[in-house]
Structure 1
Amino acid sequence: MTTFPARYAGPTLGEVGEHRAIEEIISAAPSSRNGDDAAVLSHASPNSRAVATTDMLIEGRHFKVEWSTPEEVGCKAIVQNFADVEAMGARPLAALLAISAPPHTPVSYIRGVAAGIADRAGEYSAELVGGDLTSGAELVLSVTAIGSLGGSLPELTLDRARPGQRIVAHGRLGWSAAGLALLDRFGRENVPAEFTELVEAHCAPRLNPGRGVIARATGATAMTDNSDGLVADLGIMARRSGVGIDLHSSAVEPDELLLRAGQLLDADPWEWVLAGGEDHTLLAATAGDPPSGFRSIARVTRGEGVTVDGLEPAYGHGWVSF
């Protein structure tokens, strides 16, 4: 059973009921489209297509209440969904939130989740436009993101990487996994202050909005995000496209902060970089120069699978649900 820290003391969902709790969510994440039977969205442009994706966060598996504030959980829920929209080259427009929570869940906690969603979605000029709330044995969040793909260029699917292109990246690599390792060892309160950024990268990852749209507009043909692990996610792109992807070790090597964390934990930071995941770094295939905000990390070859400097990667596993 989920045990909430004392700082979330106050009325619970079971005490106030569904309707009052929903009012708290709407108050924390206001939208003129939220509150009716369904939200009606306007097209961003006449020549546009809708993009939709959904992901779940389960307490104890994807986050822990003793590690993450509810605002951070809300931020994480938005980024993991909006990154998938951006990875198609689209612009996020709106989010739907479904929550299953035990009756003893403090209303203040759910309000905090909604506030985190509103804050991070607002960075994309997007809104929380509806959802559902129900009682359940575990705390489970499910976010559905809706986006718009404008213009006539094709979407950035996984099967369009071609030999001769380069792989470009926007975002950190390995930071979320390092943050998780630090939390596992020390708990939130005892992580050394010098590693605060790594912990935040795990609890509340972030991306600069609009990078996916820029990559598509400047010639990218395929894109994904680093959710399950760099080698694992690029491996899917390589397999779907029938190509090889050769990472440049000098472009993805652990930075100084990861190296210090590795020394503290007696861990190999290369594992965080290659297999960690949950950074939600955008990874695109393009024939041109890296778009604004991206850097080149690999080349697309006529080989198979993912290599590092032409060799088998030291770590090839990634996150799997089962």
Structure 2
Amino acid sequence: MSPQHTPTGGTVGEVGEFGLIRAVTEGRAQPPTTLLGPGDDAAVVAAADGRIVASTDVLVQGVHFRLDWSTPDLVGRKAVAVNLADIAAMGATPTAVLVGLACPGDTGADVIKELTDGMWAEASRAGAGVVGGDVVRADQLVVSVTALGELGGRPPVTRSGARPGDIVAVNGRLGWAAAGLAVLGRGFRSPVSVVKAQRAPEPEYAAGPAAAKAGATAMIDVSDGLLADLGHIAESSEVGIDVRTERIEVHQRLVEVGKALGADPMAWVLTGGEDHALAATFPSFADLPDGWARIGSVTMPDSGVTVDGTAYEGGTGWQHWR
């Protein structure tokens, strides 16, 4: 970023639309897939095999994040991570993100700078570029991110390919973000590890393409809760899925937090969202890629999602408007 365009105070209304855009885009490095970045009517992103994987998420202040619970840079990281995890869940490699940002005119310009710093940092971690977007005025802070990716010549891994006899595996942490939300909801800010997991997930983006190369038959980003998202695979594939709790390791930190709050850490693992781990099904003969752990199996059609062979009592994950 060019120092002369770095906000050092004031509001976005005072900096102005184009001053703000310059401040958050100039001097940024782009990956080779960005053929034309910010500054024109549209960006140009390479699509090596002629196909583009695309996904969009919207984060609303007070619903998906709170600035009294987090910091602008972590909100920016989260906004990008939740989108790029969807790209990875298709077996694709992230290439670019587009950002739509709405905020009140009296929002501090430095808040937006920190927010976009987080976005650029997370996109860079995934090997993607921030290639463009839009900024508008609104009554509250809203961040919309569209993520793009490329398949490298492979077919996409959808939710509809699971078959009876497949194994179910996950990559990434489960239950940590839910534990962090419970901690924050009680007015605490520690343990830092679980609070940070809620503020900014850290998906392993390379795990999606690795699963695709290993023959994954179906895959999904765990955003709403493990059981809820496995339910989407089960429905799309017209199969059942059984999760075995003896195969799921509950980290000691989650056990400690659960004990302190009087909560069941396994419930966080099974139904807590926002970790953005990946869940996938593989043929029974497949060798799981590094970082993937088996947690269950695909069963016969119309058996739903079960835990240790029986229906799970209680909610299975997050649902909007409920």
The answer to whether the superposition gives a TM-score over 0.5 is: yes
**How is 1:71-220 mapped onto 2 (pairs within 5 angstroms)?**
71-151=73-153, 153-186=154-187, 190-192=188-190, 195-220=191-216
**How is 1:1-322 mapped onto 2 (pairs within 5 angstroms)?**
10-27=9-26, 29-31=28-30, 33-43=37-47, 45=48, 47-151=49-153, 153-186=154-187, 190-192=188-190, 195-287=191-283, 288-303=286-301, 304-322=303-321
Q: CA deviation at 1:178?
A: 0.4
Query: Residue deviations 1:168-212, cap 9 Å, x none?
Result: 1100010001001101112xxx423xx211111110100223111
Supply the AA of the counterpart residue of 2:258: G
Q: CA deviation at 1:253?
A: 4.8
**Structure 2 residue matching 1:173: 3-state secondary structure:** coil
**Structure 2 residue matching 1:81: 3-state secondary structure:** helix
Give yes or no for contact 1:176–1:279 (8 Å, CA) kept in 2: yes
Q: CA deviation at 1:29?
A: 4.7
Q: CA RMSD in A?
A: 1.6
CA distance 1:316–1:252, shift in 2 (3 Å)? farther
| Runs of 5+ unmatched residues, structure 2 | 1-6, 31-35
Q: CA deviation at 1:30?
A: 4.9
Q: CA deviation at 1:219?
A: 0.6
CA distance in 2, matches of 1:314, 1:9: 52
Compute the TM-score of the two structures, normalised by the length of structure 1.
0.92
CA distance in 2, matches of 1:58, 1:28: 28
CA distance in 2, matches of 1:91, 1:267: 37
Supply the AA of the counterpart residue of 1:191: R
Supply the AA of the counterpart residue of 1:114: T
Query: Residue deviations 1:91-131, cap 9 Å, x none?
Result: 11000000010011111111111111111111121110000
Supply the AA of the counterpart residue of 1:241: S
CA distance 1:308–1:253, shift in 2 (3 Å)? farther
Q: CA deviation at 1:315?
A: 3.6
Supply the AA of the counterpart residue of 1:16: V
**Structure 2 residue matching 1:76: 3-state secondary structure:** helix
CA distance 1:259–1:172, shift in 2 (3 Å)? same
Compute the TM-score of the two structures, normalised by the length of structure 2.
0.92
| Runs of 5+ unmatched residues, structure 1 | 1-7
CA distance 1:35–1:140, shift in 2 (3 Å)? same
CA distance 1:30–1:140, shift in 2 (3 Å)? farther
Query: Residue deviations 1:35-75, cap 9 Å, x none?
Result: 111001122x3x34210000011111100011111110111
CA distance 1:117–1:245, shift in 2 (3 Å)? same
- Which position in structure 2 is the counterpart of 1:4? none
Give yes or no for contact 1:231–1:316 (8 Å, CA) kept in 2: no
Count of aligned positions: 307
Q: CA deviation at 1:300?
A: 0.6
